[in-house]
Structure 1
């Protein structure tokens, strides 16, 4: 029977007739009262990422605000006590605190060991250990807890490192965005925190190619290789499995990547069979390659490494897979991207990793700065079709109207603009048909 551990942070909640439900956010229309009013929970810290995990005070703050998480977050704390070790199922229930002896606790309920593997001994976790754990936080019958099935990322700073044959020693950094990609250790820990068969949301991560297993150019056009922080094979290694080339296109030559190249990769990661952290096969691609000080881009294409801001279609903007785009994306600097149906027959839609723009759909960019250029990286051709938009496509800032320049089958650009509001129209002679503009990323350049 599940043990209920009460803390000072939740005693007042016990009187409430509220029933928790695992993995379901608390209703936002509840007449919610903070039960910890007047109770010192400590200083909330962390962003819930592998590089910046929540502390216990931050977890309690979230729950006290009537919120819960549906996706796994990262939490760091001290093991205040172990409650139960189940040798049959290989899980353990334990309490985390920010300071030993504190009454403000988070129960990790039936958690798993490294890489979501089973605990084999109660001695694998000791009181006083500092742990980082990945899981869903919730409020269960007035008890703050992390749902069953969580996974330990590190104990006293040490990670399992099964993908490198030993303990990882690097320091995780980055937030997984294009502006701040995860380093090798961070993406390794992200994957290690997933259960077998699970995959992450798309993230950006970087490293230096340390070894190349295969570059397949005959059928699938993907590559498998390892990256590390410094390009050697002695440190933390992350396996990039069946990944594609720049702009999500196929590899066409084995010479397109080399050991020692600095790379930035975008895609989902997984923990294959619960013990092999790697990219999800066929669901990642190179964003940039730097070899001997120069950036490599596709033939005829322009590098977007110097863009002021980049829009990459994602569920982070409220988009739903295989459904019309109805929300406005706000980029890191405040610039917004609005995509509407306008005079077209078909509404623009989001598909995994791309925004699909149909005939006469309109993209509106609004910024506090004047925009002078936009470069769009498009999806790779398929079944004999390009997805780089109609030849009639144009952009206007209200004063200037510029026609599309097609750099390649997978890249187009609009130059000569000078306005803070820019409309990009996938124009066509009819309201349907023509060539879709499937946006993988859109680089925006400012005039000042």
Structure 2
């Protein structure tokens, strides 16, 4: 898979691409990279280089991101400037994020989808903050993804940097580069596991078992019961990331305990946020949008360096 963004060359390549875009014939359709439009489609009017000093306008971002294949995302954060067209999910104290559309001029032509982005300062919205309104001018800082053909910000990996001229600072935390080959000697890190799994077809299991190393960032809670290792099911559902933060996570879904056994009372420790783990098993791109381990086909290989309970 060819990727446009490559570490230090990203912005230089993007600037060249955008210069070329202005000479293209204007496309008769709305958003490139959708199911109806081929990859690499450019729309006339793109500007910017994606930096804070020179953010993309919405068309510029759509043009650059049109080179991403489905399931792929930029390796770097991009700054995108536009006007709010409509609000799908208003910012709320419950989640602290908002979902909305922006365009160059605030009309419905050539829209960009801002999905579950944080508020100013890269913080969760609180009740003391102003809600977003149609017509607001914003600058977004985000990782951008091609989500099943729709160009949008990656969930929880974007925030409003500036709102109607106001900004509260806040810098994106760099994501770890994808490393590893899935072997015991060289396990995937979480970024590597995400990249590997996203390349699988929708609901297709990997043919091989892989090792994935990460830090527990969240333990799934369902019906107010922690889905940790317990004697009821003997498996656990939790999320891991490269830095222990609750973003850019990989879901470990219903994984068994050490040695692929069911956990039972007295078998050994259960998980806590911050634990370093290695899991082993098959992975799946569930519904084409959730990379995770296959239910019942993965297990805890290592917990904080130990490969069996009490050893």
TM-score range, shorter-chain basis? Answer: 0.3 to 0.5
Q: Which has the bigger relative contact order, CA under 8 A and spacing at least 6?
A: 2
TM-score by length of 2: 0.47
Q: Name the larger-Rg structure.
A: 1
More strand by share: 1
TM-score by length of 1: 0.34
